[in-house]
Structure 1
C-alpha cells in the first residue's frame, strides 16, 4: 500500500504540468521581492512569458484575493501563499483552460509542498470562496 502511495506522489511530482506550475510559483515569488515592481528577474526563464502575463493581471487577481480573504491584506499574506494564490486565480478567472477542480487541487498540493502547515487550508478556503463568487 505504501509503495503505491509513494509511486503516485512521485508521478505527481514528475508531471510536466505540475513542474510548470511550480516554476511559475517560483517566478511569482521572485517578483514579490521586486523593489520597483518593474524589475523582473525570474529563476525559470522558460516560463517568463506566462509569468509576465500573470503579472499584467495582478491588480485584478489581487482584488479577487482581497475580496475573498478580507482579514488578510495582500501585503500580510505569506509570499509563498500569495504566489500560489496568484497563479491559481489567474488559471481560474483569466486563463480558464483547466477545470476548476484541477486548479484548486494543484494549488492545495503546491501549498502542501512549499507552504507552512496552514497554507493549504488557507489557499483552499480563499479559492473556494473565489470559485463560489465567480460569474
Structure 2
C-alpha cells in the first residue's frame, strides 16, 4: 500500500472541496483522483478514510491549526497549505496508528510538491507545534 499516493489523493479531494465549496460524494471523488494518480486499490481505502475523517473533524482541526498559526487566520492561508495541514492534523489528533512525526514529514513533502515556495516551511512551523503539544498531552495521559 502506498500511503503517500493515498495522501496525495486525499489532498486533491480536500482541495477540490475547499475550492468549489460544493458538497462532494467522497467515494466518487476519491475514485476519480485515485484513477488519475493510478493509486493501487489497497491505498484507496486509506485515502477515503483520510478524507472522511478530515471532513468529520474539520471544525476541531481548524480550531487547532488556528490556535498554533500565530497571526494567521485559517481563511487567509493558501488553500493547498490549509488542506495539507488539515489532513496532517487529522492524522496527528485522531489516528493513533500513525506517529505524529510521520504525519508531519508527509505533510512537508505534500507542501513541497503541491504548494508554493514557502509552503513547506509554513506547514512545518505550525504542524511541528501541534505534534509537540500532542506528544506532551499523550505523555500526561490527557489523550
Task: Write out the 4+ residue segments of structure 1 that deviate beyond 3 Å after TM superposition.
Answer: 46-50
**Worse-superposed segment, 63-72 or 92-101:** 92-101
Q: Any idea what the Cα deviations from partners look like across 1:37-61, whole Å, max 9, x if unmatched? A: xx11554235445412210100010
Normalized against structure 2, the TM-score is what?
A: 0.76
- Describe how 1:31-50 pairs up with structure 2 within 5 A: 31-35=17-21, 39-41=23-25, 43-45=29-31, 46=44, 47-50=47-50
Contact 2:112 2:119 in 1 (8 A): yes
Q: Tell me which residue corresponds to 2:6.
A: 20
Aligned length: 119
Higher mean C-alpha deviation, range 117-126 or range 50-59: 50-59
Aligned CA RMSD, in angstroms, stands at: 1.7
- Partner SS, residue 116 of structure 2: coil
Alignment partner, residue 3 of structure 1 = none
Structure 2 stretches lacking a partner, 5+ long: 32-43, 138-143
Alignment of structure 1 residues 21-100 onto 2, 5 Å? 21-35=7-21, 39-41=23-25, 43-45=29-31, 46=44, 47-100=47-100
Work out whether residues 27 and 48 of structure 1, in 8 Å CA contact, stay in contact via their aligned partners in 2.
Answer: no
Corresponding residue number in structure 1 for 2:41: none
CA contact (8 A) 1:66 1:73 kept: yes
For 1:123 and 1:50, the matched residues in 2 are separated by 18
**Residue 101 of structure 2 contacts residue 131 of structure 2 at CA under 8 Å; is this kept in 1?**
no
Task: Tell me by how many angstroms 1:121 deviates.
Answer: 0.3
Task: State how far apart, in whole Å, the 2-side matches of 1:49 and 1:68 are.
Answer: 25
